[in-house]
Structure formats: C-alpha cells, structure tokens
Amino acid sequence: MTNTSKLVPVKGVSKSPVKTELATFAAGCFWGVEHEFRKEKGVLATAVGYMGGRTENPTYKQVCYEDTGHAEVVQLEFDPDTVTYTQLLDLFWNLHDPTTLNRQGPDVGDQYRSAVFFHSPAQREAAAAVRDRLQASGEIKGRIVTEITAAPVFYKAEEYHPAGADELLLSRAQLAQQGFGPVANQMALAPSAPDYAAHSLPWPVPFEDAHHTIGNVMTQFQDYGGGAYYHGGDDLRVQDLEWVTAPITGKLEAGHYGYNTNADGSNTKFWKAWPQTGDHMYFEVALIDEQGYRFELHHIDRDSLPAEIVAALNAGGGTIAKGTRLGRVVHWPNSDTDDTIYNHTHYNIVAPDGIHLNPEHYSALIGDNLPPDVSQIYAVGADGRATEFGDGRLSNRPDEVVVVASDKLGENIYTHTPAYSRVVFENGAEQVWDFRERLATADGKFPPIWEFLRESLTTPSGEVLRTQGDYSSRSFLLRLRLPKDAHGKFRVEIGDATGNVTVRNGEVL
C-alpha cells in the first residue's frame, strides 16, 4: 500500500478517522482533477503522480515527452464513512471524457488516458459496476474506454506539483506554498503609451506559416474550469523548438510564473525569480525597457538558454540587445484544432501599472483585410428577453445590444475575440470597448469581463447561446449597454486589432 505520508492533507481536516482507504484515478492532466477531488467532503489527503508505466521514478518531463507508459494520476485518502468509493467513481467519470482514448481535450498521449487503479477486489467490482451503469444508462455518450486495473507503484510528482491545479490556476495559498511571490504594480493610473510607433517592433519569433500565426490574442476569452479571464497577450505559433529573440533592448529577467484568476477576469501574477526552479512549461524570459514596460515571453525551455543569457542572469540581469537569442520555445504536448502541436510562446507587453498592451498594435503588421464575422445581433430588454435585430428597426428601446461575433487574422485558422465593439447614436450617445491598443477602458481602468461579454443569452426560439473559450469551443457574445440618453438612429461597429470593422445600422422607433 502507498505510504500515505506522501499525500497532502486537505485544509480543514484536522483528524483522520480510524479507517481510511486509498483511491487512484487517471482523468487527464492531474492538476485540475486533484483540485476537484480536494473539494469533496470525506477526501482527507491527495497527491498527484505517475502510475501504470515502465520507468522507475519518472519525472514530469519524461512522462510528457518519453515513452514511459505512465498515466498522470491523482491518489487520495478518503473516509469511507463520509464518502463512498462509488461516489468517488461517479465524480471521477463526471470530471472528464472517458470515451476518448489517450486524450482529454487538447491533451494528447497515453499519459492522459482514462483509468481506475483499484486497491482491492471490492474497488475493482465497484468500478466495473459504475462503468456498466453509466454505459447502459446513456448518461455518457459513446463507448467508455476507461481502463480498470490493479494499482502498481505510485510515483509522486515533483515538489512543484503539490496539492493544486496547473500553476496557471493555483490558489494564492498554493502559489505561496510553491515559493511564488505576488508581482506588485508600480502606479495606480495608466501612464502614457510606450515610446514605440504602431507596428514598429519585430515579432520575437518567425511564425510557423500563414495559417498558424497568432493562436489566442490579448482580448481572448478563456475559461478552462478555473474561472473566466482575458488571455492578456498573444500566443505566437512557431515550429517545434523555435528560437525566441529579443524584440527590444532592455534589462533581462527570468523566472517561473503562476496566475490566480480574479472575479473581474483579471489575473494576479505570481513569480519565482531565477535561479529558483519550477514547472519547465511555465518559464518566462522578460526584457524591461527604460520606461518600465515589460516584454514577457512565456513557455521558454529553460534548458535551452544560451550561455550568454545564463551568465547575465547569474550576474543579476544586465542589458540585452534587441535581436539577441533568448532561448527556444518549449515543446508543447497538446494538439490544437488543426490537429497539430500547439508550439508557441505567449507574448505579453505589460505597462508599469500592470495594464496589458496589445502586441498586435506595436509589432509588425500581419496581413488581414477581413473584418470580424457578425453572425447575429439581439436586442435585450430590461427583463432579459431577447429579440432578433432583424432590419434594425426596434419598436422598443432595449437595455443592451448583444452581438454574436468572432474574428480571424487573415489566413490564420484560429478564432479570436474581436478587440473593438461600439454602439453609437446620432445624438452622440455611445458605449464602446476599444482594446486595439491596450486592455483598459478609456480612463485606464480594467474592463470587467462580464461587462465586455455576456455570459449567456436565450434566443427567441429558446436556444441558449454562451460565451465559450477553450480549445474546442469558441463563441463570443459581445455586450453593448445602451446609454440612458440613447435614441433614434444608431450604428453597431465590431472591429479587429488590424483596423477592419463590420458595421450594422439600426434605429429605435
């Protein structure tokens, strides 16, 4: 039996029952799965690790990139008098898609397989019974491919994976436990724009091709189960292990990072400076210019840093010249919608006050003459009822206009959240969200995500539309609240960061 001292106690559990049991599940990436199990009453302690393979004492990097045969698993100790093994099985099968072989969403490989590792004959029988019940009932569409096998040796994951989710989705306490410190902003109000002309800077990487340029953009709505947030920067799609070069001349910094998502859609950043260690997938190299603007490049392979960069970091930083090679993009183990590997660096430009600037505005122009696609517009009354925009002639003044829209950058395959939305009336009354240059309102404040977007909307036919932003589903409901003094003819504008705009006209009768 596994030594339960390897498991991390759940907060608030002060005393273990006389009788406890172990359970081990594989349901894809172990961080988020563990996070959900730790919320279940009766679960006393958990740990993430590896099981079911051939390699002894594997590392996370080996499991991701080598043929170890191990699955990412969550092992937990539970009180069977509070939560039964069958209840844990129900939760397990609800947490993931057990019908995809060696895959969970964008995560592909046998380390992401669905599996129950039983610790007793009773657990084996219970797992088979629950699987058969779910299959027969039709609750799970498709054939369940979950393995049910005896639990072999459990190898606990490295210490930078303790009791929590992905380092991008950790709680503040978990980030602190890992040695991260919060990043403080320097000023309360947005300063003037940085001293760079529009489209004057080079992109820090060569794009893979015209179809794979920017994956997620700065305004991209994201929600992978840990809360809705703005992406904050651009994912620059590249060939595997591509070099990243300095887009400016600036002071060098590097370290591992994590984020904590806030209710307004912002993210609080946490940081472990060089030479501290952390998850190799979440390593950043940054350059800070003389004005204090920070150019951040995420997902750099720490092991690929050139000797010049390592020496500068060991000496405390120093100035790095524009065009210098900073390191290679880490190999990304996930597939995107084009069924290719999503190798990329996440590129942020952050002002001294913490406001994120749009890399598309300051970097070389990418050819794009296509305006955003507007598939439908709805007028929504104060009671929340929606009517179709139709010819734009509205008999009653709506409370807001909701635009179902998306954008693509030229020949790029990726679907983006438009950076600009506006409704303007002939009397000058308007509501506008303009993120073409920075992720902020006109007065320099952070834009709450559910003011810019509407979470859901029920159409007149009863269909429920939702704003979605994960690897497989992307749809955006842009929200424009009408000013109180708005009346008469109006214009709805939806635009992208390149300057293309789609226009629809209307009138409140």
Residue pLDDT, tens place only, 263-293: 899 988 889 999 998 878 899 999 999 999 9
- Position 396 in a domain: yes
Q: Which residue among 362, 381, 401 closes a domain?
A: 362
Write the single-letter amino acid at 246: A
Residue 165 pLDDT grade (very low, low, confident, very high; cuts 50, 70, 90): very low
Q: Kindly give, in sequence order, each residue whose CB lies less than 8 Å from that of residue 400, ignoring residues fewer than 6 positions away.
A: 379, 380, 454, 479, 480, 481, 482
The span from the CA of 102 to the CA of 93, in Å, is 15
pLDDT value of position 281: 86
480 with 443, same domain: the answer is yes
Confidence band (pLDDT; 50, 70, 90) for 369? very high
Q: Are 306 and 177 found together in one domain? A: yes
Same domain as 228, residue 119? no
One domain, residues 228 and 180: yes
Active site residue 64: no
Mean pLDDT is lowest, of 90-99, 185-194, 311-320, 494-503, for: 185-194
Among 156, 191, 221, which residue terminates a domain?
A: 156
Helix axes 121-137, 85-94, angle to 10 degrees: 50
> In terms of Cα–Cα distance, which of 352, 345, 231 is closest to 294?
352
Residue 135's domain is classified under what CATH number? 3.30.1060.10
Query: 389-395 contacts: CB < 8 A, separation 24 or more?
Result: 389/504, 389/506, 392/504, 392/505, 392/506, 392/507, 393/506, 393/507, 393/509, 394/506, 394/507, 394/508, 394/509, 395/509
| In a domain? residue 75 | yes
- Pair 78, 42: CB distance under 8 Å: yes
Q: What is the rounded radius of gyration, in angstroms, for the C-alpha atoms of the chain? A: 25
Domain assignment present for residue 420? The answer is yes
- Reading the block at residue 382, the tokens are 């104060």
pLDDT tier at 61, thresholds 50, 70, 90? confident
Provide the 10 A C-beta neighbour count for residue 210.
Answer: 13
The DSSP code for 429 is -
- In-domain check, residue 136: yes
Q: Which residues contact 58 (CB under 8 A, 6 or more apart)?
A: 50, 68, 70, 155
Other C-beta atoms closer than 10 Å to the C-beta of 318 total 12
Angle of helix 30-37 versus helix 85-94 axis, rounded to 10: 140
Is a pLDDT exceeding 50 seen at residue 167?
A: no
Our count of domains for the chain comes to: 3
Residue 98 lies in a domain: yes
Asked if residue 296 and residue 406 are part of one domain, the reply reads no
Same domain, 311 and 182: yes
**Tokens 């501290």, located at residue:** 276
The pair of structure tokens assigned to 439 is 């992720």
Nearest one of 270, 30, 34, 278 to 172, comparing CA atoms: 270
Q: If you average pLDDT over residues 351-369, what whole number do you get?
A: 94
**Does residue 217 contact residue 439 with C-beta atoms inside 8 Å?**
no
What is the structure's pLDDT at 188? Answer: 39
Measure the CA angle with vertex 106, ends 146 and 473; round to 5°. Answer: 110
146 contacts 115 by C-beta, under 8 angstroms:
yes
Digit-coded pLDDT (tens) for 82-139 = 999 999 999 999 888 899 888 876 567 889 899 999 999 999 999 999 999 999 998 8
State the DSSP H helix or E strand holding residue 92, giving kind and residue range, or none if neither. helix 85-94
The distance in angstroms from the start CA to the end CA of the chain is 74
- DSSP H helix total and E strand total for the chain: 8, 35
Looking at residue 59, what is its pLDDT?
84
Kindly name the residue from 22, 23, 26, 29 that is annotated as catalytic: 29
Same domain (yes/no): 113, 78: yes
Q: Are residues 290 and 331 in the same domain?
A: yes
Q: Is residue 163 part of a domain?
A: no
122 shares its domain with 79 = yes
Q: Per the domain annotation, does 161 fall within a domain?
A: no
Write the CA distances from 25 to 75, 76, 103, 283, integer angstroms.
7, 9, 15, 28
Residues 178 and 323 in one domain: yes
Cβ contacts of 397 within 8 Å, gap of 6 or more: 482, 486, 487, 508
pLDDT over 80 (residue 200): yes
Mean pLDDT, range 53-58, rounded to an integer: 93
* pLDDT value, residue 184: 60
What is the structure's pLDDT at 225?
66
Q: How confident is the model at residue 223 (pLDDT cuts 50, 70, 90)?
A: confident
Band (pLDDT 50/70/90 cuts) for residue 163 is very low
Is the pLDDT assigned to residue 64 strictly greater than 80? no
Among 147-161, 451-465, 486-500, name the one with the lowest average pLDDT. Answer: 147-161
Q: What is the DSSP string of 190-241?
A: --PPPS--TT-BPPSS--SBTTBSBSS-TT-EE-SSS--EE--SEEEE-STT
* Average pLDDT score, the chain: 88
Residue 84 lies in a domain: yes
Confidence of residue 195 (pLDDT cuts 50, 70, 90): confident
Q: Are 429 and 494 part of one and the same domain?
A: yes
Q: Which token pair is 474?
A: 């992307």
Task: Provide the pLDDT confidence category of residue 28 given band limits of 50, 70 and 90.
Answer: confident
What would the two tokens of residue 223 be? 């929600």
Q: Would you say residue 176 has pLDDT above 90?
A: no
Q: State the average pLDDT over residues 194-200.
A: 92
Rounded to two decimals, the pTM is 0.71
Phi, psi of 180 (to 5 degrees): -80, 145
| pLDDT confidence bin for 347, thresholds 50/70/90 | very high
In the chain, the largest separation of any two C-alpha atoms, in whole Å, equals 75
Which residue range forms the structural domain that includes residue 53? 4-156
CATH number at residue 289: 2.70.70.10
- Please report where in the chains the tokens 């959900």 appear, as a residue: 36
pLDDT, position 397: 86
Task: State the pLDDT at residue 109.
Answer: 81
Whether 187 has a pLDDT exceeding 50, the answer reads no
Lowest mean pLDDT among 71-85, 118-132, 473-487: 473-487
pLDDT attached to residue 338: 46
Instruction: Say which range, 170-174, 199-203, 368-372, 484-488, has the weakest mean pLDDT.
Output: 170-174
Which tokens go with 51?
């099981």
Q: Give the domain-ending residue among 310, 340, 362.
A: 362
Phi, psi of 482 (to 5 degrees): -85, 135
Phi, psi of 49 (to 5 degrees): -175, -155
Mean pLDDT of 72-77: 95
- Within this chain, do residues 106 and 76 fall inside the same structural domain, yes or no? yes
